[in-house]
Amino acid sequence: MGFKDKFDGIRILTVGRLSGEKGQALTIPILARLRNEGYNVKWYCVGDGELRNRYEELIEEYDINEYYVLLESDINPYPYFKECDLYVQPSRFEGYCLTLAEARVFNKPIVSTNFSGAREQLIDNETGLIVKYDEEELYKAIKKMIDEEELRKKFIYNLKKQRVNNREGLEELYKLTF
pLDDT, residue 72, reads 85
Residue 3 inside a domain? The answer is no
Residue 1 located in a structural domain: no
CATH of the domain at 56: 3.40.50.2000
Q: What average pLDDT does this structure show over 12-20?
A: 95
Residue 50 placed within a domain: yes
Instruction: Answer yes or no: are the C-beta atoms of 71 and 4 closer than 8 Å.
Output: no
Please report the pLDDT score of residue 116 as a whole number: 87
Eight-state DSSP code of residue 105: H
Question: Is 102 within 8 Å of 163 (Cβ atoms)?
Answer: no
8 A C-beta contact, residue 80 and residue 13: yes
What does the pLDDT look like over 75-118, one tens digit per residue?
789 999 999 999 999 999 888 889 999 999 999 999 999 998 89
Q: Looking at the domain assignment, is residue 136 inside a domain?
A: yes
Position 74 scores a pLDDT of: 66
Total domain count, the chain: 1
Helix (H, G, I), strand (E, B) or coil at 89: strand
Determine contact, residues 34/143, Cβ cutoff 8 Å: yes
pTM here is: 0.91
Determine the structural domain holding residue 132 and report its residue range: 10-177
Residues ≥6 apart with Cβ < 8 Å to 137:
131
